[in-house]
Chains A and B, each alone.
Chain A
Amino acid sequence: MTSLLKLQRLRKSYGERRLLDLDGLEIETGHAYAVTGGNGAGKSTLLRILAGLEPGEIAGFGFRGVPLTHGRLPDDVRHDIVYVHQHPYLFHTSVAHNIGYGLAARGVHGTERGRLVEEAIAWAGVGHLRGAPPAKLSGGEKQRVALARAKVLKPRLFLLDEPTASLDGEARGQVIALIRQLVQDNSSLLIACHDRELIELPGMRRFHLESGRLLEA
Protein backbone atom coordinates (compact mmCIF):
# COMPACT_ATOMS: atom_id res chain seq x y z
CA MET A 1 0.00 0.00 0.00
CA THR A 2 1.31 3.44 -0.95
CA SER A 3 0.04 6.38 1.00
CA LEU A 4 -0.91 9.31 -1.20
CA LEU A 5 -2.35 11.70 1.35
CA LYS A 6 -2.17 11.48 5.10
CA LEU A 7 -3.88 13.87 7.41
CA GLN A 8 -3.56 14.01 11.16
CA ARG A 9 -6.15 15.68 13.31
CA LEU A 10 -8.32 18.04 11.33
CA ARG A 11 -10.72 20.45 12.95
CA LYS A 12 -13.02 22.97 11.38
CA SER A 13 -15.40 25.21 13.25
CA TYR A 14 -17.81 27.93 12.26
CA GLY A 15 -18.17 30.13 15.33
CA GLU A 16 -19.17 27.87 18.20
CA ARG A 17 -20.16 25.02 15.94
CA ARG A 18 -17.52 22.38 15.25
CA LEU A 19 -18.20 20.94 11.83
CA LEU A 20 -15.23 18.60 11.49
CA ASP A 21 -13.24 16.83 14.20
CA LEU A 22 -11.24 14.15 12.44
CA ASP A 23 -8.52 12.11 14.11
CA GLY A 24 -6.98 11.37 10.75
CA LEU A 25 -7.52 10.47 7.12
CA GLU A 26 -5.39 8.40 4.82
CA ILE A 27 -5.85 7.99 1.10
CA GLU A 28 -3.91 5.33 -0.77
CA THR A 29 -2.61 5.76 -4.28
CA GLY A 30 -4.82 4.24 -6.94
CA HIS A 31 -7.94 3.90 -4.83
CA ALA A 32 -11.31 5.58 -4.91
CA TYR A 33 -13.12 6.67 -1.79
CA ALA A 34 -16.66 7.83 -1.30
CA VAL A 35 -17.35 10.17 1.60
CA THR A 36 -20.94 9.86 2.69
CA GLY A 37 -22.91 11.68 5.34
CA GLY A 38 -26.04 13.72 5.78
CA ASN A 39 -26.59 17.20 4.44
CA GLY A 40 -24.35 19.62 6.30
CA ALA A 41 -22.14 16.81 7.64
CA GLY A 42 -19.07 18.59 6.24
CA LYS A 43 -18.30 16.45 3.18
CA SER A 44 -17.81 19.43 0.87
CA THR A 45 -15.87 21.33 3.51
CA LEU A 46 -13.50 18.39 3.96
CA LEU A 47 -12.82 18.31 0.21
CA ARG A 48 -12.36 22.06 0.04
CA ILE A 49 -9.85 21.98 2.89
CA LEU A 50 -7.90 19.22 1.14
CA ALA A 51 -7.96 21.29 -2.06
CA GLY A 52 -6.53 24.28 -0.17
CA LEU A 53 -9.64 26.35 -0.85
CA GLU A 54 -10.60 26.66 2.82
CA PRO A 55 -8.52 26.85 5.95
CA GLY A 56 -8.76 24.25 8.68
CA GLU A 57 -6.84 23.43 11.83
CA ILE A 58 -4.58 20.59 10.78
CA ALA A 59 -1.98 18.95 13.00
CA GLY A 60 -0.16 17.21 10.15
CA PHE A 61 -0.50 16.92 6.40
CA GLY A 62 1.60 14.65 4.23
CA PHE A 63 1.44 14.13 0.48
CA ARG A 64 3.29 11.22 -1.12
CA GLY A 65 5.18 10.74 2.11
CA VAL A 66 6.39 14.32 2.27
CA PRO A 67 5.14 16.40 5.24
CA LEU A 68 3.73 19.77 4.25
CA THR A 69 2.70 22.96 5.91
CA HIS A 70 -0.92 23.14 4.93
CA GLY A 71 -2.33 26.42 3.74
CA ARG A 72 0.38 27.21 1.23
CA LEU A 73 0.80 24.08 -0.83
CA PRO A 74 3.84 24.06 -3.10
CA ASP A 75 3.04 24.27 -6.82
CA ASP A 76 3.88 20.65 -7.53
CA VAL A 77 1.42 19.49 -4.86
CA ARG A 78 -1.24 21.99 -5.94
CA HIS A 79 -0.88 20.61 -9.44
CA ASP A 80 -1.35 17.07 -8.11
CA ILE A 81 -4.78 17.77 -6.59
CA VAL A 82 -7.77 18.94 -8.62
CA TYR A 83 -11.10 19.81 -7.06
CA VAL A 84 -14.35 19.77 -9.02
CA HIS A 85 -17.31 21.73 -7.66
CA GLN A 86 -20.73 20.17 -7.22
CA HIS A 87 -21.95 22.64 -9.82
CA PRO A 88 -18.81 23.17 -11.89
CA TYR A 89 -17.94 26.66 -13.02
CA LEU A 90 -17.02 26.95 -16.67
CA PHE A 91 -15.17 30.07 -17.82
CA HIS A 92 -17.07 32.16 -20.36
CA THR A 93 -14.73 31.28 -23.19
CA SER A 94 -15.11 27.94 -24.98
CA VAL A 95 -15.28 24.29 -24.05
CA ALA A 96 -11.79 23.68 -25.49
CA HIS A 97 -10.34 26.68 -23.63
CA ASN A 98 -11.87 25.44 -20.39
CA ILE A 99 -10.35 22.01 -20.82
CA GLY A 100 -6.98 23.47 -21.75
CA TYR A 101 -6.93 26.05 -18.93
CA GLY A 102 -4.99 23.98 -16.41
CA LEU A 103 -2.55 22.87 -19.10
CA ALA A 104 -1.84 26.51 -19.97
CA ALA A 105 -1.32 27.23 -16.26
CA ARG A 106 1.28 24.44 -16.28
CA GLY A 107 3.05 25.87 -19.31
CA VAL A 108 1.77 23.32 -21.83
CA HIS A 109 1.21 25.18 -25.09
CA GLY A 110 0.72 24.78 -28.81
CA THR A 111 0.10 21.48 -30.53
CA GLU A 112 0.75 19.42 -27.41
CA ARG A 113 -2.00 21.24 -25.53
CA GLY A 114 -4.31 20.94 -28.52
CA ARG A 115 -3.70 17.20 -28.72
CA LEU A 116 -4.34 16.66 -25.01
CA VAL A 117 -7.48 18.79 -25.12
CA GLU A 118 -8.81 16.80 -28.07
CA GLU A 119 -8.14 13.54 -26.22
CA ALA A 120 -10.00 14.83 -23.17
CA ILE A 121 -12.91 16.06 -25.31
CA ALA A 122 -13.17 12.63 -26.89
CA TRP A 123 -12.91 10.90 -23.49
CA ALA A 124 -15.77 12.95 -22.04
CA GLY A 125 -17.85 12.72 -25.24
CA VAL A 126 -18.30 16.48 -25.46
CA GLY A 127 -17.06 17.03 -29.02
CA HIS A 128 -20.51 18.14 -30.13
CA LEU A 129 -20.40 20.94 -27.54
CA ARG A 130 -17.26 22.49 -29.00
CA GLY A 131 -19.08 25.52 -30.41
CA ALA A 132 -21.60 25.94 -27.60
CA PRO A 133 -21.25 28.80 -25.10
CA PRO A 134 -20.19 27.10 -21.84
CA ALA A 135 -22.82 28.99 -19.84
CA LYS A 136 -25.55 27.42 -21.96
CA LEU A 137 -24.55 23.80 -21.22
CA SER A 138 -26.75 21.63 -19.06
CA GLY A 139 -25.67 20.50 -15.59
CA GLY A 140 -24.59 17.10 -16.86
CA GLU A 141 -22.66 18.58 -19.78
CA LYS A 142 -20.88 21.01 -17.47
CA GLN A 143 -19.95 18.17 -15.14
CA ARG A 144 -18.52 16.15 -18.06
CA VAL A 145 -16.50 19.14 -19.29
CA ALA A 146 -15.27 19.72 -15.72
CA LEU A 147 -14.23 16.06 -15.42
CA ALA A 148 -12.38 16.30 -18.73
CA ARG A 149 -10.75 19.53 -17.54
CA ALA A 150 -9.55 17.72 -14.42
CA LYS A 151 -8.53 14.47 -16.11
CA VAL A 152 -6.43 16.17 -18.78
CA LEU A 153 -4.12 17.35 -15.97
CA LYS A 154 -3.49 13.77 -14.83
CA PRO A 155 -3.72 14.75 -11.16
CA ARG A 156 -2.65 12.32 -8.49
CA LEU A 157 -5.86 13.02 -6.60
CA PHE A 158 -9.32 13.99 -7.84
CA LEU A 159 -11.62 15.64 -5.32
CA LEU A 160 -15.17 15.41 -6.66
CA ASP A 161 -17.92 17.18 -4.78
CA GLU A 162 -21.31 15.50 -5.30
CA PRO A 163 -20.72 14.98 -9.02
CA THR A 164 -24.16 13.53 -9.70
CA ALA A 165 -26.19 15.73 -7.38
CA SER A 166 -29.13 17.32 -9.18
CA LEU A 167 -28.54 15.12 -12.24
CA ASP A 168 -30.88 12.41 -13.33
CA GLY A 169 -31.50 10.06 -16.19
CA GLU A 170 -29.01 9.99 -19.03
CA ALA A 171 -26.92 12.90 -17.73
CA ARG A 172 -26.32 11.12 -14.42
CA GLY A 173 -25.49 7.87 -16.21
CA GLN A 174 -22.93 9.62 -18.43
CA VAL A 175 -21.19 11.21 -15.46
CA ILE A 176 -21.13 7.91 -13.54
CA ALA A 177 -19.67 6.19 -16.61
CA LEU A 178 -16.79 8.69 -16.68
CA ILE A 179 -16.12 8.28 -12.96
CA ARG A 180 -16.27 4.49 -13.36
CA GLN A 181 -13.52 4.80 -16.00
CA LEU A 182 -11.40 6.89 -13.64
CA VAL A 183 -11.83 4.25 -10.93
CA GLN A 184 -10.96 1.46 -13.38
CA ASP A 185 -7.85 3.38 -14.48
CA ASN A 186 -6.68 3.30 -10.85
CA SER A 187 -6.96 7.04 -10.42
CA SER A 188 -7.07 8.21 -6.82
CA LEU A 189 -10.41 9.79 -6.06
CA LEU A 190 -12.17 11.19 -3.04
CA ILE A 191 -15.82 11.73 -3.85
CA ALA A 192 -18.36 13.39 -1.62
CA CYS A 193 -21.65 11.77 -2.54
CA HIS A 194 -25.03 10.37 -1.68
CA ASP A 195 -25.44 8.49 -4.95
CA ARG A 196 -25.72 4.77 -4.21
CA GLU A 197 -24.59 3.78 -7.69
CA LEU A 198 -21.36 5.72 -7.23
CA ILE A 199 -20.81 4.42 -3.71
CA GLU A 200 -21.22 0.86 -4.94
CA LEU A 201 -18.85 1.13 -7.88
CA PRO A 202 -16.43 -1.82 -7.87
CA GLY A 203 -13.34 -0.98 -5.84
CA MET A 204 -14.90 2.01 -4.12
CA ARG A 205 -14.00 2.37 -0.46
CA ARG A 206 -16.19 4.34 1.86
CA PHE A 207 -15.87 6.83 4.66
CA HIS A 208 -18.85 8.09 6.56
CA LEU A 209 -18.96 11.49 8.22
CA GLU A 210 -21.13 11.76 11.28
CA SER A 211 -21.08 14.41 13.99
CA GLY A 212 -17.83 15.70 12.56
CA ARG A 213 -16.12 12.29 12.89
CA LEU A 214 -14.92 10.17 10.00
CA LEU A 215 -15.88 6.52 10.25
CA GLU A 216 -14.47 3.93 7.88
CA ALA A 217 -17.47 2.02 6.58
Chain B
Amino acid sequence: MSLLDATGAAFRLLFGGDPELWGIVFVSLKVALLGLALAAPLGVVLGYLLAMHRFPGRRTLVVLTQSLLAFPTVVVGLVLYMLLSRQGPLGSFALLFTQDAMILGQAILAFPILVAYTLSAVQGADPRAHETAVSLGARPLRAALTTLNETRFAVLAGVINGFGRAISEVGCALMIGGNIAGVTRNITTAIALETSKGEFAQGIALGMVLVVLALGVNVAMAVLQGEGGMK
Protein backbone atom coordinates (compact mmCIF):
# COMPACT_ATOMS: atom_id res chain seq x y z
CA MET B 1 0.00 0.00 0.00
CA SER B 2 1.43 3.36 -1.03
CA LEU B 3 1.66 6.25 1.41
CA LEU B 4 -1.16 7.98 -0.43
CA ASP B 5 -3.39 4.92 -0.21
CA ALA B 6 -2.56 4.52 3.48
CA THR B 7 -3.39 8.15 4.17
CA GLY B 8 -6.71 7.79 2.34
CA ALA B 9 -7.50 4.69 4.38
CA ALA B 10 -6.52 6.57 7.54
CA PHE B 11 -9.05 9.33 6.76
CA ARG B 12 -11.74 6.69 6.12
CA LEU B 13 -11.00 5.11 9.50
CA LEU B 14 -11.11 8.47 11.23
CA PHE B 15 -14.26 9.84 9.68
CA GLY B 16 -15.97 6.48 9.32
CA GLY B 17 -16.13 6.24 13.09
CA ASP B 18 -14.04 3.04 13.28
CA PRO B 19 -14.87 1.70 16.77
CA GLU B 20 -11.44 0.09 17.30
CA LEU B 21 -9.62 3.31 16.43
CA TRP B 22 -11.81 5.54 18.58
CA GLY B 23 -11.64 2.98 21.40
CA ILE B 24 -7.86 3.35 21.35
CA VAL B 25 -8.20 7.14 21.44
CA PHE B 26 -10.60 6.83 24.39
CA VAL B 27 -8.12 4.64 26.32
CA SER B 28 -5.36 7.20 25.69
CA LEU B 29 -7.44 10.14 26.87
CA LYS B 30 -8.81 8.28 29.89
CA VAL B 31 -5.41 7.07 31.07
CA ALA B 32 -3.67 10.41 30.49
CA LEU B 33 -6.41 12.47 32.15
CA LEU B 34 -6.71 10.18 35.18
CA GLY B 35 -2.92 10.09 35.51
CA LEU B 36 -2.93 13.86 35.43
CA ALA B 37 -5.74 14.04 37.99
CA LEU B 38 -3.66 11.82 40.27
CA ALA B 39 -0.44 13.79 39.81
CA ALA B 40 -1.77 17.36 39.72
CA PRO B 41 -2.77 17.87 43.38
CA LEU B 42 0.42 16.24 44.66
CA GLY B 43 2.67 18.01 42.17
CA VAL B 44 1.16 21.43 42.79
CA VAL B 45 1.32 21.01 46.58
CA LEU B 46 4.95 19.84 46.48
CA GLY B 47 5.91 22.63 44.06
CA TYR B 48 4.29 25.20 46.34
CA LEU B 49 5.99 23.84 49.46
CA LEU B 50 9.38 23.77 47.75
CA ALA B 51 8.92 27.36 46.61
CA MET B 52 7.68 28.80 49.89
CA HIS B 53 9.50 26.89 52.59
CA ARG B 54 13.07 26.11 53.53
CA PHE B 55 13.48 22.73 55.20
CA PRO B 56 16.15 20.04 55.45
CA GLY B 57 16.27 17.97 52.27
CA ARG B 58 14.60 20.66 50.16
CA ARG B 59 17.55 21.00 47.80
CA THR B 60 17.71 17.23 47.35
CA LEU B 61 14.01 17.11 46.52
CA VAL B 62 14.41 19.89 43.95
CA VAL B 63 17.35 18.11 42.28
CA LEU B 64 15.48 14.79 42.36
CA THR B 65 12.41 16.34 40.75
CA GLN B 66 14.50 18.04 38.09
CA SER B 67 16.23 14.73 37.37
CA LEU B 68 12.87 13.01 36.95
CA LEU B 69 12.04 15.54 34.24
CA ALA B 70 14.76 14.08 32.08
CA PHE B 71 14.08 10.44 32.95
CA PRO B 72 13.39 8.34 29.82
CA THR B 73 9.82 7.08 29.92
CA VAL B 74 10.99 3.56 29.21
CA VAL B 75 13.12 3.62 32.38
CA VAL B 76 10.08 4.70 34.41
CA GLY B 77 8.25 1.81 32.74
CA LEU B 78 11.05 -0.60 33.59
CA VAL B 79 11.10 0.40 37.28
CA LEU B 80 7.33 0.15 37.49
CA TYR B 81 7.39 -3.20 35.70
CA MET B 82 9.79 -4.57 38.29
CA LEU B 83 7.69 -3.19 41.15
CA LEU B 84 4.37 -4.44 39.74
CA SER B 85 5.45 -7.80 38.33
CA ARG B 86 4.33 -10.89 40.22
CA GLN B 87 7.69 -11.20 41.98
CA GLY B 88 7.90 -7.48 42.71
CA PRO B 89 7.03 -5.80 46.01
CA LEU B 90 3.69 -4.56 44.61
CA GLY B 91 2.92 -7.74 42.68
CA SER B 92 0.07 -8.72 44.99
CA PHE B 93 -2.00 -5.81 43.65
CA ALA B 94 -2.08 -7.50 40.20
CA LEU B 95 -1.78 -4.16 38.43
CA LEU B 96 0.61 -5.09 35.67
CA PHE B 97 -0.93 -4.85 32.17
CA THR B 98 -3.95 -2.93 33.41
CA GLN B 99 -5.13 0.61 32.78
CA ASP B 100 -4.52 1.35 36.47
CA ALA B 101 -0.82 0.62 36.00
CA MET B 102 -0.74 2.93 32.97
CA ILE B 103 -2.48 5.66 34.97
CA LEU B 104 0.13 5.26 37.70
CA GLY B 105 2.94 5.42 35.14
CA GLN B 106 1.60 8.51 33.43
CA ALA B 107 1.02 10.18 36.80
CA ILE B 108 4.69 9.56 37.62
CA LEU B 109 5.73 11.05 34.28
CA ALA B 110 3.54 14.14 34.68
CA PHE B 111 4.41 14.69 38.37
CA PRO B 112 7.87 16.30 37.99
CA ILE B 113 6.54 18.65 35.30
CA LEU B 114 3.79 19.82 37.64
CA VAL B 115 6.26 20.27 40.50
CA ALA B 116 8.73 22.18 38.33
CA TYR B 117 6.13 24.51 36.82
CA THR B 118 4.51 25.25 40.18
CA LEU B 119 7.88 25.78 41.87
CA SER B 120 8.95 28.16 39.15
CA ALA B 121 5.58 29.96 39.10
CA VAL B 122 5.41 30.51 42.86
CA GLN B 123 9.09 31.42 43.16
CA GLY B 124 8.63 33.95 40.40
CA ALA B 125 5.41 35.35 41.86
CA ASP B 126 5.35 38.80 43.38
CA PRO B 127 6.10 38.21 47.09
CA ARG B 128 3.58 40.91 47.98
CA ALA B 129 0.76 38.58 46.89
CA HIS B 130 1.38 36.16 49.75
CA GLU B 131 2.27 38.95 52.19
CA THR B 132 -0.95 40.80 51.36
CA ALA B 133 -3.01 37.68 51.93
CA VAL B 134 -1.31 37.06 55.28
CA SER B 135 -1.60 40.68 56.35
CA LEU B 136 -5.32 40.64 55.55
CA GLY B 137 -5.71 37.71 57.93
CA ALA B 138 -5.56 34.68 55.64
CA ARG B 139 -4.52 31.45 57.30
CA PRO B 140 -1.77 29.43 55.59
CA LEU B 141 -4.15 27.37 53.40
CA ARG B 142 -6.08 30.41 52.16
CA ALA B 143 -2.84 32.34 51.59
CA ALA B 144 -1.45 29.37 49.61
CA LEU B 145 -4.59 29.08 47.47
CA THR B 146 -4.52 32.83 46.86
CA THR B 147 -0.87 32.71 45.78
CA LEU B 148 -1.58 29.76 43.47
CA ASN B 149 -4.57 31.60 42.04
CA GLU B 150 -2.36 34.61 41.35
CA THR B 151 0.03 32.31 39.43
CA ARG B 152 -2.72 30.21 37.88
CA PHE B 153 -1.65 30.69 34.28
CA ALA B 154 1.85 29.38 34.91
CA VAL B 155 0.55 26.52 37.08
CA LEU B 156 -2.03 25.58 34.43
CA ALA B 157 0.71 25.63 31.82
CA GLY B 158 2.36 22.92 33.93
CA VAL B 159 -0.87 20.91 33.98
CA ILE B 160 -1.19 21.14 30.20
CA ASN B 161 2.46 20.25 29.68
CA GLY B 162 2.04 17.28 32.02
CA PHE B 163 -0.92 16.12 29.92
CA GLY B 164 1.22 16.52 26.82
CA ARG B 165 3.91 14.24 28.24
CA ALA B 166 1.38 11.64 29.42
CA ILE B 167 -0.59 11.42 26.17
CA SER B 168 2.46 11.25 23.93
CA GLU B 169 4.75 8.84 25.77
CA VAL B 170 5.11 5.27 24.54
CA GLY B 171 7.83 3.55 26.58
CA CYS B 172 6.09 3.37 29.93
CA ALA B 173 2.65 2.55 28.48
CA LEU B 174 4.09 -0.26 26.39
CA MET B 175 6.04 -1.83 29.25
CA ILE B 176 3.40 -1.78 31.96
CA GLY B 177 0.28 -1.73 29.80
CA GLY B 178 1.31 -4.53 27.49
CA ASN B 179 -0.57 -3.09 24.49
CA ILE B 180 -3.58 -5.40 25.01
CA ALA B 181 -6.25 -4.72 22.39
CA GLY B 182 -9.37 -3.13 23.82
CA VAL B 183 -7.82 -2.82 27.27
CA THR B 184 -4.45 -1.13 27.43
CA ARG B 185 -3.77 -0.32 23.79
CA ASN B 186 -3.45 3.44 23.50
CA ILE B 187 -2.55 5.74 20.62
CA THR B 188 1.22 5.53 20.95
CA THR B 189 1.47 1.79 21.56
CA ALA B 190 -0.98 1.11 18.72
CA ILE B 191 1.06 3.25 16.31
CA ALA B 192 4.22 1.33 17.27
CA LEU B 193 2.48 -2.03 16.79
CA GLU B 194 0.66 -1.24 13.54
CA THR B 195 3.76 0.26 11.98
CA SER B 196 5.86 -2.78 12.89
CA LYS B 197 3.24 -4.94 11.15
CA GLY B 198 3.33 -2.75 8.05
CA GLU B 199 -0.29 -1.60 8.68
CA PHE B 200 0.14 2.08 8.14
CA ALA B 201 -3.50 3.21 7.83
CA GLN B 202 -4.42 2.93 11.50
CA GLY B 203 -0.99 4.26 12.54
CA ILE B 204 -1.42 7.34 10.35
CA ALA B 205 -4.97 7.90 11.60
CA LEU B 206 -3.87 7.66 15.23
CA GLY B 207 -0.85 9.82 14.49
CA MET B 208 -3.18 12.49 13.15
CA VAL B 209 -5.26 12.35 16.34
CA LEU B 210 -2.08 12.66 18.39
CA VAL B 211 -0.88 15.61 16.33
CA VAL B 212 -4.25 17.33 16.75
CA LEU B 213 -4.06 16.73 20.50
CA ALA B 214 -0.48 18.04 20.61
CA LEU B 215 -1.53 21.10 18.64
CA GLY B 216 -4.46 21.60 21.02
CA VAL B 217 -2.09 21.44 23.97
CA ASN B 218 0.22 23.99 22.40
CA VAL B 219 -2.63 26.31 21.46
CA ALA B 220 -3.93 26.06 25.05
CA MET B 221 -0.43 26.88 26.34
CA ALA B 222 -0.15 29.87 24.01
CA VAL B 223 -3.58 31.16 25.08
CA LEU B 224 -2.67 30.77 28.75
CA GLN B 225 0.66 32.50 28.29
CA GLY B 226 -1.16 35.29 26.51
CA GLU B 227 -3.65 35.54 29.38
CA GLY B 228 -0.77 35.55 31.85
CA GLY B 229 0.87 38.33 29.94
CA MET B 230 -2.36 40.34 30.10
CA LYS B 231 -2.21 40.52 33.91
Q: What is the interface of chain A, defined by CB distance below 8 A to chain B?
A: 51-53, 75, 78-79, 81-85, 87-89, 91-93, 101-102, 105-106, 135, 149-150, 153
**Given contact pairs A91-B146, A92-B150, A92-B231, A85 touches B137 in the complex (Cβ within 8 A):** no
The answer to whether A153 touches B132 (Cβ under 8 A) is: no
B155 CB → nearest A CB, Å: 13
The answer to whether B137 touches A153 (Cβ under 8 A) is: yes
The answer to whether A85 touches B132 (Cβ under 8 A) is: yes
User: With A and B bound together, what is the CA distance between A149 and B142 in angstroms?
Assistant: 17
Minimum CB distance partner of A106 in chain B: B137
Q: Which 7 pairs, one residue from A and one from B, show the smallest C-beta to C-beta distance?
A: A102-B136, A89-B128, A105-B137, A83-B135, A105-B138, A89-B132, A79-B137
B216 CB → nearest A CB, Å: 25
B172 CB → nearest A CB, Å: 37
- Residues of chain B within 8 A (CB-CB) of A153 are 136-137
Minimum CB distance partner of B153 in chain A: A92
- Residues of chain A within 8 A (CB-CB) of B131 are 53, 83, 85, 89
- Residues of chain A within 8 A (CB-CB) of B150 are 91-92
B225 CB → nearest A CB, Å: 15
User: With A and B bound together, what is the CA distance between A196 and B134 in angstroms?
Assistant: 30
- Residues of chain A within 8 A (CB-CB) of B133 are 101, 105
Confirm or deny: B126 has a beta carbon within 8 angstroms of a beta carbon on chain A. Answer: yes
Confirm or deny: B78 has a beta carbon within 8 angstroms of a beta carbon on chain A. Answer: no
Confirm or deny: B139 has a beta carbon within 8 angstroms of a beta carbon on chain A. Answer: yes
User: With A and B bound together, what is the CA distance between A101 and B133 in angstroms?
Assistant: 8
Kindly identify, within residues 100 to 152 of chain B, every residue whose CB is under 8 Å from any CB belonging to chain A. 126, 128-129, 131-139, 142, 146, 149-150
B72 CB → nearest A CB, Å: 38
The answer to whether B128 touches A149 (Cβ under 8 A) is: no
0/1 string, B190-231, CB within 8 A of A gives 1: 000000000000000000000000000000000000000001
**Given contact pairs A85-B128, A91-B150, A53 touches B134 in the complex (Cβ within 8 A):** yes
The answer to whether B137 touches A102 (Cβ under 8 A) is: yes
Minimum CB distance partner of A86 in chain B: B128
- Residues of chain A within 8 A (CB-CB) of B138 are 101-102, 105
**Given contact pairs A89-B126, A91-B150, A82 touches B135 in the complex (Cβ within 8 A):** yes
B103 CB → nearest A CB, Å: 34
**Given contact pairs A91-B150, A92-B231, A101 touches B129 in the complex (Cβ within 8 A):** no
- Residues of chain B within 8 A (CB-CB) of A106 are 137
- Residues of chain B within 8 A (CB-CB) of A150 are 136
User: With A and B bound together, what is the CA distance between A52 and B132 in angstroms?
Assistant: 12
- Residues of chain A within 8 A (CB-CB) of B146 are 91, 101
User: With A and B bound together, what is the CA distance between A85 and B136 in angstroms?
Assistant: 12
**Given A84-B135, A91-B129; 10 other pairs, CB 8 A cutoff:** A53-B131, A53-B134, A78-B134, A78-B137, A89-B131, A89-B132, A91-B146, A101-B133, A101-B138, A105-B137
